[in-house]
Amino acid sequence: MKGTNILGLIFPNVNDICIPELTAERAIASVPFGGKYRLIDFTISNMVNAGIANVGIVAEKKFASLMDHLGSGKAWDLSKRRGGLTILSPYSHGAENFNTTMECLYNVKGFIEDAGEEYVLLTTGNTVFNCDYGQMISQHLETGADITVMYVHGKIPKGFYSPLVIKTDTDNKITDIVMSPKIENSGEVACDYICSTAFMKKSLLLDTLDDCISRNNLDFRRNWILESYRKCNVYGYEFTGYISSATSLDTYFKANMSLMDPNVRADLFNEDRPIFTKVRDDMPSKYGLGSSVKNSLIAQGCVIEGEVVNSIISKGVYIGKGAKIENCIIMQDTKIGSNARLNYVICDKDVVIKNDRALMGYETYPIYIGKANTV
């Protein structure tokens, strides 16, 4: 099947509640990652690499940062007269606001109906992975499934919101789904859990949506996914590559730090399925006399006068003389003064760390400094 017959729908605000520190002013999908990317870059790139040329971003709230990053979609070759990238801003049919993913989806029903594609791929924007959706689509057609959902075998990440644990038969047909089970949710037992991606015919999505809204069944996971497998042929597609879901500040920090592993970078960023992002033209980074950088990722436009160890430094960051940055994530345009000491710290954009300051967190509890704060 060609990707041109598939409509992509991305929900950038689902899971905002998981990382309130980073999503106070932005959707979780627009959270910076890896020094030069945003989380949504992986989701959109996966769709584009599969040939999907019509992508709708179903934004609910806090989407200014997301719109600034996505623009017209040119970075992903989605700036087109027909189809391309469409940001579907929130609205309602009456005085009431919508509060659930189901209601949000219903309010963009017109966009879905007008799309000429036969199939639809739904996903969230907080997962870091490089997926060949073509394999998932091929399995869907071969099995004759009504719905195919992506799942992962492993321990459920910390903070994963209402995880859906599944059981499958030898053909990957789902035979049981349980929401938020106590044992598996403890993170101590490996299991198969759904990873927020579903593929189906557009007509089935619209029919199910109408039925749920008419019955006031507005919980997407409980009323849509849990009920669908009882009524339809629902199959699972196991993703076996590197994957990390930003479901807490801890998992977000570890996902960034995992980029230090060459095997992880090779899995995420390969020539066959590149990850695209908005380009910021900037000067090459400068390294002063006496500066030192070890096992770190440094974006362009930085000035490094101090020492950086095992850290991710975003674009336009300044690190003063005598400063030591270790096990940190420093976001765009942050300024760190001379002789400062940071260890296990996440600095959001435009933060100012004064001279001689010392901040230390821990691997499982990094310190977070909010956007544009001065410390």
Q: How confident is the model at residue 250 (pLDDT cuts 50, 70, 90)?
A: very high
The 10s digit of each residue's pLDDT in 13-63 is 888 888 999 999 899 999 999 999 999 999 999 999 999 999 999 988 888
Asked whether residue 62 is assigned to any structural domain, the reply reads: yes
Q: Is the pLDDT of residue 90 over 70?
A: no
Same domain, 240 and 298: no
> Domain of 363?
286-369
Both 26 and 110 in a single domain?
Answer: yes
Average pLDDT, the chain: 90
pLDDT value, residue 185: 47
Question: Considering the domain boundaries, does residue 185 fall inside one?
Answer: no
The model's pLDDT over 255-290, given as tens digits with 9 standing for 90+, comes to 999 999 999 999 999 889 999 999 888 899 999 999
What is residue 271's predicted lDDT score, i.e. its pLDDT? 86
Of 213, 237, 268, the one marking the end of a domain is 268
State the CATH number of the domain containing residue 242.
Answer: 3.90.550.10
Which of 90-99, 205-214, 330-339, 360-369 is the least confident region? 90-99
Please write down the HEC assignment for all residues of the chain: CCHHHEEEEEECCCCHHHCCCCCCCCCHHHCEECCCEEHHHHHHHHHHHCCCCEEEEECCCCCHHHHHHHCCCHHHCCCCCCCEEEEECCCCCCCCCCCCHHHHHHHCHHHHHHCCCCEEEEEECCEEECCCHHHHHHHHHHHCCCEEEEEEEECCCCCCCCCEEEEECCCCEEEEEEECCHHHHCCCCCEEEEEEEEEEEHHHHHHHHHHHHHCCCCCHHHHHHHHHHHHCCEEEEECCCCEEECCCHHHHHHHHHHHHCHHHHHHHCCCCCCCCCCCCCCCCCEECCCCEEECCEECCCCEECCEEECCEECCCCEECCCCEEECCEECCCCEECCCCEEECEEECCCCEECCCCEEECECCECEEECCCCEC
pLDDT band (50, 70, 90) for residue 183? low
In a domain, 274, yes or no: no
- How many domains, in total, are found in the chain? 2
Let me know whether 225 and 326 are in one domain.
Answer: no
156 or 358: which leads in pLDDT:
358
Residue 206 sits in the same domain as residue 325 = no
pLDDT at residue number 281: 82
